[in-house]
Amino acid sequence: MGNALRLLQRCFEQQQPPAKPQEPLGPHGVTPATVGVSALARDLFNFDISSQVPDGLSHYVVSSKKAQANWYAKLSAAWKQTHPPPSTPAEAARLIIQTLKGHKKTDVEGLLQFYGLSLPEALPETLPDGTKQQLLTAPVVYRDISDGDTINVYVAATTIPQDVRLAVEERARARAIRNFTHADALQKTIQAAGFRIKDGQSNRPILEKKYRIRLRGIDAPETAMSYGKEAKEALAKMVQGKSLRVVLYGVDQYERHVGDVFCDGIFIQEAMLRGGHAWHYVAYDRRPEFQMWESEARKARRGLWASNNPQKPWEWRRESRNG
């Protein structure tokens, strides 16, 4: 046991220089070098010594601290049995997925997101052309749902601009001396840069990057339109309080990330179309299944199709622009 612990410690030391005592540990800190494989190695080593799971993990998973400790015991044993130990993000992610097979999908994806890890195996088996990136998000809160086709999500920050990192560090110092006015001003600066900061246990900062997501291929009624509020509530019912998997394709003219959204195994665009909560946005997406799902809802007169002649959102926006 002692030899295994020393091997695990050497693995961590080779991958990352020792941090300063005041520096936050693991991916919940603000230093880019603390994410990924080295963070997992460090946290497993710390768990073997203290039986404590990392601060901030509960923000990303749904199970209890006792369950989290069970995961880390399994992961620690699996790590020691792997020769050579994981050295790349893909290998570390594969170890987590294989070791925790049978556990809640939300927990496994949350743990991966906590360490900024992802695997090609976590994507749909067949990806459409043009896929750029996959995100595993923090749980969605209601205020981040704009309408039935646009949502803000937050992802563990792995690359942090220098000015944001300095602002986070200065905010921590301001809070330490109880200068909350200055700390709040710095928080606004961090938010304006597209990041969100939360305080985990022991006041260690959790930094997350904001992505504004436009659901690809659908167009829901605007909130000011007839059925607009109902469409937003339909989306909120599916995603509120849950972590999402988002497959990104690019950025639109409004700097929103266009992507397919999945939650608990459900393809959100499909659910919105089948429920009659959105139109197939055929001008930007020609997937035939989208048209089929919309047609099914039309025939059944579900959602917005209960109206004889619902207004198209793109026409409503054009009329609004024209006064």
Region 194-218: mean pLDDT is 82
Report which of residues 240 and 93 the model is more confident about: 240
Q: Is the peptide bond before 18 cis (omega within 30 degrees of 0)?
A: no
C-alpha span between 319 and 65 (Å, rounded): 53
Residue 232 has, within 13 A of its CA and on its CB side, a CA count of: 18
State the sign of the Cα–Cα–Cα–Cα dihedral 275, 280, 286, 292. Answer: positive
| 118: confidence class by pLDDT, cuts 50, 70, 90 | low
Region 240-244: mean pLDDT is 90
What kind and span of H or E run contains 195? strand 195-199
Check: CB of residue 293 under 8 Å from CB of residue 280.
yes
Side chain identity at residue 131, one-letter code: T
Which of 87-96, 101-110, 161-170, 243-252 comes out lowest in average pLDDT? 87-96
**Own/partner long-range contacts of 263-267 (Cβ < 8 Å, ≥24 apart):** 263/238, 263/239, 264/105, 264/106, 265/105, 266/238
pLDDT (0 to 100) of residue 19: 39
Check: CB of residue 23 under 8 Å from CB of residue 31.
yes
pLDDT (0 to 100) of residue 84: 76
C-alpha span between 304 and 227 (Å, rounded): 6
User: CA-CA-CA-CA torsion for 174, 175, 177, 178, nearest 10 degrees?
Assistant: 120
pLDDT (0 to 100) of residue 92: 83
Residues 6+ apart with CB under 8 A from 118: 89, 93, 112, 134, 136
3-state secondary structure of 307: coil
List the one residue out of 74, 206, 51, 208 whose CA is nearest residue 136. Answer: 208
Six-digit token string for 175 = 């809070």
| 39: confidence class by pLDDT, cuts 50, 70, 90 | confident
Q: Which fold has domain 211-321?
A: OB fold (Dihydrolipoamide Acetyltransferase, E2P) (2.40.50)
| 115: confidence class by pLDDT, cuts 50, 70, 90 | confident
Six-digit token string for 84 = 């050579």
C-alpha span between 156 and 26 (Å, rounded): 12
C-alpha span between 234 and 263 (Å, rounded): 14
3-state secondary structure of 184: helix
pLDDT in tens, 268-284: 999 999 999 999 999 99
| 128: confidence class by pLDDT, cuts 50, 70, 90 | low
Check: CB of residue 64 under 8 Å from CB of residue 152.
no
**What residue segments make up the domains of the chain, in order of their start?**
2-122, 211-321
What kind and span of H or E run contains 186? helix 180-192
Centroid of chain to Cα 218: 21
C-alpha span between 106 and 4 (Å, rounded): 30
pTM over 0.75: no
Side chain identity at residue 272, one-letter code: M
C-alpha span between 220 and 279 (Å, rounded): 6
Check: CB of residue 34 under 8 Å from CB of residue 26.
yes
List the one residue out of 267, 277, 266, 286 whose CA is nearest residue 217. Answer: 286
Residues belonging to the active site: 214, 222, 256
Which of 8-17, 67-76, 152-161, 191-200 comes out lowest in average pLDDT? 8-17
C-alpha span between 214 and 174 (Å, rounded): 36
